[in-house]
Amino acid sequence: MDFATALRGLVALLWLVVVVLIGLAVLRASRGQKVKALSTTILVTAILAVVLTTVSAGLVFIRPEERGVVISALEPKGYREQALQPGLRWIIPYFESVERYPISRQTYTMSIAAIEGQVQGDDSVAARTSDGQEIFVDASVIYAIDPVQVVQLHIDWQDRYTLELVRPLARGIIRDAVSQFGVEEVYSTNRFELVDQIKESMTLKLQPNGITLAEFVLRNITFSPEYAASVEQKQIAEQLAQQAAFVVEQRRQEAEQARQVAEGAADAAAIRAEGQARARILEAEAEKQALELIASALEDNPDLLTYQYITKLAPGVQVMLVPNNAPYLLPLPTLESAETSSPSPLPSPEPEPTPLPTPETSP
């Protein structure tokens, strides 16, 4: 509680005491009792109350978040040109009065919601974009009174500056700014540019009137039901298109993967075939060299072929050798059939092998 308020409380208490004393004096006078001493007390108390009332009428305490405009009957213009600064100030009682103005930040909200903002009901700003779409803008204007221009603000607007200055200017500037953008630009690509343009215009309009713009907040943008439905359908179509593109890309990647796998398999097959071909070439070359060695050995020793032929015969094979003029080896059918058919109780004696004919040497 400041001193001026406390003094006013004391003055009110003194006047209450005066009233009580006067009532008591009347009561005592009606009973025939002496009231001289009581009358003196009433007079002193009344004089003190008048003095303190006068003093309290001249004392004004200005809070830090306020400025005071002095309305004066003693000034030629009817007011003091300088506003009262924070602190305990003195004005001429009964000839001057003070109008207080807050210099702290204030907020004016325009909203489509009925319970928000200073105006009850739908107070959103209806505006049309450059392509003819109607939108509804919810916004808040955060502003403050310029302490230097508070006297001029009082002269021009008094306490009507919120509803008759801030609100109309904000709504008109919002409509003008929205009309320069398309509907998609308003809510997507150029939203921040729109806000900056509104702030710049409002600053230029409010500053000469003693108002400083602190911030402009674009709270929400609402579309007409028809446009909202078309936007929703467009978004659904875009999502379906993106999904289809994703599926196509997935199929393309799968095809590319299959192609790379096939190329890898083909490269592996080619490498394997090349390896097999080289192995066969090496095998053929080795076989060629072996045959050349055999041919060279046979050329030096012709009987080596007959020896190799004899060593390759299995030891249990029964053969029959024909004379020299018919050099064919044939199996003995009787011995083989006898072994494979019903066997006799006693094994038949093996025939003695016929001596091999000595190969004839060419002269």
Q: Which of 55-64, 132-141, 156-165, 285-294 is least confident?
A: 285-294
Query: Beta-carbon neighbour count of residue 255 at 10 Å?
Result: 10
Residue with tokens 């003194």: 14
One domain for residues 192 and 115: yes
- Give me the DSSP letters along 82-116: SPBPSEEEE--TTTEEEEEEE-S-EEEEE-SSTTS
Q: Residue 217 sits in which domain range?
A: 106-223
One domain for residues 113 and 176: yes
Domain count, the chain: 3
pTM metric for this prediction: 0.58
Residues in contact with 227: Cβ distance below 8 Å, sequence separation at least 6, in sequence order: 133, 134, 183
One domain for residues 278 and 175: no
What mean pLDDT is predicted for residues 326-334?
Answer: 53
Structure-derived torsion over alpha carbons of residues 15, 21, 24, 28, reported in degrees to the nearest 10: -150
Residue 362 lies inside a defined structural domain of this protein: no
Between 38 and 177, residue with greater pLDDT:
177
Task: Report which of 87, 40, 94, 104 is spatially closest to residue 71, judged by C-alpha positions.
Answer: 94
Q: pLDDT > 90: what percent of the chain?
A: 30
Q: Kindly list the distances between the CA atom of residue 108 and the CA atoms of 101, 117, 120, 142, in Å, as whole numbers in the listed order.
A: 16, 7, 13, 7
Question: Does the pLDDT at position 275 exceed 60?
Answer: yes
Residue at which a domain ends, from 297, 329, 345: 297
Residue 154: both structure tokens together? 């009082």
The model's confidence at residue 108, banded by pLDDT at 50, 70 and 90, is very high
Q: Which of 181-185, 277-281, 286-290, 320-324 is least confident?
A: 320-324
Residue 166 lies inside a defined structural domain of this protein: yes
One domain for residues 67 and 27: yes
143-174 pLDDT tens trace: 999 999 999 999 999 999 999 999 999 999 99
H/E run at residue 61 = strand 59-62
Residue 288: both structure tokens together? 């060629």
Residue 324 lies inside a defined structural domain of this protein: no
Q: Are 92 and 77 in contact (CB under 8 A)?
A: no
Q: Specify which of 104-118, 188-202, 234-248, 263-277 reaches the highest per-range mean pLDDT.
A: 188-202
